Chain A
Amino acid sequence: MIAAYLLLLLPLSGIVFFAVLGHHPRVGRINIKFNAFALLMSLWLAIDVFQSGSIISPGQLFLIDSFNVYLIVLTAFVGLTTSIFSAPYMRHEQENGKLSNKRLKLYYSMYQGFMFAMYLVLTTNNMGILWVAMEAATLATVLLVSLYRTPESIEAAWKYFILCGVGIAQALFGTVLLYYAAIQIGDTENALNWTVLYENASQLNPEILEIAFVFMLIGYGTKIGLVPLHNWLPDAHSEGPTPMSAVLSGLLLNDALYAVVRNKMLVDGATQTHIAGHLMMGFGLLSFLVAAIFLHKQQDIKRLFSYSSIEHMGLMTFAFGIGTPFATFAALLHMMVHSLTKSAIFVTVGHAAQIAGTQRIEHIRGLIKTQPAVGWGLLIGTLAIAGFPPFGVFTSEFLVLLATMHSYPWLTPLLLLGIGLACAGLFRNIQPMVYGKQPEGQQLVPANLWPVIIHLVIVLWLGLSIPQSLAEWFNQATILISGSAPL
């Protein structure tokens, strides 16, 4: 439990530390150290949970079980690698005069603030605090999206703020209804604790929980990026600085999906029907197909990959919605590989944009000749995210297809259509970027591509053979979510 407290206290102190010292030239390394320490804490927690089962803090405030500890480790890991990438990147931006000292302080302190909010989302036992932390995560990143202070970025940040704020207010209404249902059956003090709710789920009023779930799906679904609530996502992910895009795409979307799945577990226990799952499947499939179609129209490289994020989150929501152990295993695996791949892609995209000086696809050409590391990174990353074997995304998408064929065979053609469309859309744009004729005046940028390499290697490894301990980990989480093991 000490590990959990340290995990939360550390970013909290980081906020204050970077608010004061964020402009120092070596501050990027200190950020890396903060995140490395957080990763160690999360690994300690993971080993604890693996050996002895779920941990609940005294006072029932925090809960670490097999589902969220896996996400905590993932969050810490991606946070660490992104901070490794962001250190030289932000220094480059500072040297080019795009960012002032004050804004760097804001960036680093809000980076830690964002990590704190995400850890809080993942470790809290109280559904109300879950909401508070999600809102805090939004608030922490809003100012970061508009960091460059261009009219476009301010517009994107405003859209993000308003859409996510209004959306998440719906989730609060859902939480209020959940609380109302909970106090009907027992004491009021602990009524919002997930453990208490999960134990007594069958006694909760099913009608109220259905209405509450609809509100929470809409609310947290806005943060996941489900169509038609996704409008903020391409703008916010494309206008912010690249480390921010990587972290938002890789981590925040996962946390919102986590919140939805926690609620789904409660609703399933209460209603004994599949309405929650069907809603998730519907929205997920819609997001998947719409995003795959919209991919073709994009002319900005970061928007292209944001739509790819929407598509994959839709697929994950769909898989969690199916609800069978097989689909849940696939969705958990997909969460991990998507986070890793997407953040790696955004790292290379950031460097590509720095090289070309613009984010528009038509102006980025010949990356492989200019800076081969970036070019290859982008190419392999796109191969990975489009679902080519032997990368891990192929494995998880294949598992999702199998699960769909098992439970809802008539939906499989739609999934295949979406995957095909997305692959076409991505490659249509990446091919000329990576291989085309090199334009004049492009120069190398200092790039630390180790994060990319590490991520892609892990994804490749997961695609070839999932290590036994990791598989066991996923198994435990699947048992928790869907009640039985897939294998």
Chain B
Amino acid sequence: MELLEQDFYTQAILSLAALVGLTSFLMLGQGRLLRLIFVFAIQGLLLTLATALAGYSMNNTHLYISAAITLLLKVILIPWMLEKQVFKLNLHRDVEALNNKTAVMLGGASLVVFSYYVLHPVIQDTPLVLLNALAVGLSVVLLGMLLMISHRHAIAHVVGFMSIENGLFFAAIVSTRGMPMIVELGIAFDVLVAAILFGIFFLHISRSIDSLDVDQMNRLNEVDQ
């Protein structure tokens, strides 16, 4: 299972997997919303490239359609919607100061190790070296969750949520050469509707509590005052 024994496409897909993981880390450290959305779009673009490469090297036309859907949804449509929201709510000048960036980053690295540990029995016995990228997929999911935990802004939560979907999509591509088309279309539709609903939510939240800081949403408690 040496890297050298694989053809160029497999190496390229593995490198793209590493870069997708890198974008997840870059998102963890971002304080500015517009840059966060930009890095998210880059992640989507890398994902599209990886899908198209996988489709080319495995001769699977399915994957070209998936790549096109990902490009449309994750690189163009959703970042555009989020950017529009940021400008409409006048948030493009805010810088969110994360107070323990180093701890968050190191936590992210340990999540990568953890995801590899979890998937080790799956990866162990297969001859397909691509499957190692499954660990990267799971770590992108976990890093998306870490992004949601460490940021206070609602739009950062949405970006984290979408990057979780990115990680899942990547895991599906790498391990199964793409899910059946109808399932992929269903998932894409769900993601789109979720994005639209998030947009509606931002409007409601900002109208009701006048900010998008989720720390302000704390009226519902277990312990009543």
Contact = CB atoms under 8 A, between A and B. Distances in A.
Chains A and B in contact, CB within 8 Å: yes
Given A173-B138, A176-B179, A180-B175, A154 B168 contact: no
Interface stretch (A138-146, A195-203, A221-229): A138-146
Contact of A294 (B164, B180, B222): B222
Contact of B217 (A128, A155, A176): A155
B182 A129 contact: yes
Given A177-B122, A211-B121, A139 B194 contact: yes
B164 A158 contact: no
B190 A135 contact: yes
Contacts of A132: 183, 186-187, 189-190
B223 interface: yes
A209 B222 CA distance: 36
A39 to B, nearest CB: 27
Interface in B141-193: 141, 145, 148, 154, 157, 161, 164-165, 168, 171-172, 175-177, 179-180, 182-183, 186-187, 189-190, 193
A183 interface: yes
Contacts of A161: 197-198, 201
Given A143-B200, A154-B205, A165-B161, A189 B176 contact: no
Interface residues of B, number: 45
Given A129-B182, A136-B190, A166-B161, A152 B168 contact: no
B186 A158 contact: no
A129 B183 contact: yes
Contacts of A177: 122, 175
A36 interface: no
Contacts of B168: 169, 172-173, 176
A299 B221 CA distance: 11
A177 B208 CA distance: 41
Contacts of B145: 166
B224 A299 contact: yes
A211 B175 contact: no
A235 B187 contact: no
A176 B208 contact: no
A interface residue count range (under 10 / 10 to 19 / 20 to 34 / 35 or more)? 35 or more
A246 interface: no
B220 interface: yes
Contacts of B121: 207-208, 211
A131 B165 CA distance: 13
B190 A151 contact: no
A162 B158 CA distance: 8
A150 interface: yes
B33 to A, nearest CB: 17
Nearest to A132: B186
B116 to A, nearest CB: 13
B98 interface: no
Interface in A108-143: 126, 128-129, 131-132, 135-136, 139, 142-143
Contact of A162 (B157, B172, B218): B157
Interface string A166-178: 1001101100110
Interface string A317-340: 000000000000000000000000
10 contacts: A132-B186, A169-B164, A173-B171, A188-B177, A192-B179, A192-B180, A207-B121, A211-B118, A297-B222, A299-B224
Interface of A: 126, 128-129, 131-132, 135-136, 139, 142-143, 146, 149-152, 154-159, 161-162, 165-166, 169-170, 172-173, 176-177, 179-180, 183, 188-189, 191-192, 207-208, 211, 235, 239, 294, 297, 299
State the 6 A-B residue pairs at the shortest beta-carbon distance, nearest first.
Answer: A128-B183, A132-B186, A155-B217, A180-B175, A207-B121, A151-B208
